Amino acid sequence: MLSLTPSPLLQPSPTCLYVDYMFELTLEYLNIDSWLSANLGVMKGLAKVKCGGI
């Protein structure tokens, strides 16, 4: 597992922005049910925290 060190300026990395974009695109494309959407939302929130809280 990669250890992510927060940037001094707390700038989101391109990878984090890409992951965030792909989450949104996937949710829109699949139009999945609310239960799964809620769980993905939690995972997305955790990913944001790991990426420096965008």
Reduced to 3 states (helix: H, G, I; strand: E, B; else coil), residue 24 is helix
Angle between the N-to-C axes of helices 14-30 and 34-50, in degrees from 0 to 180, rounded to the nearest 10: 180
Gap between the Cα atoms of 49 and 54, Å rounded: 8
pLDDT of 7: 47
Choose among 50, 39, 53: nearest CA to 1: 50
Tens of pLDDT, residue by residue over 4-49, are 555 445 555 677 677 777 777 777 777 666 666 677 777 777 777 6
Q: What is the pLDDT of residue 41?
A: 74
What is the model's pTM?
Answer: 0.31
Residue 1: is its pLDDT beyond 50? no
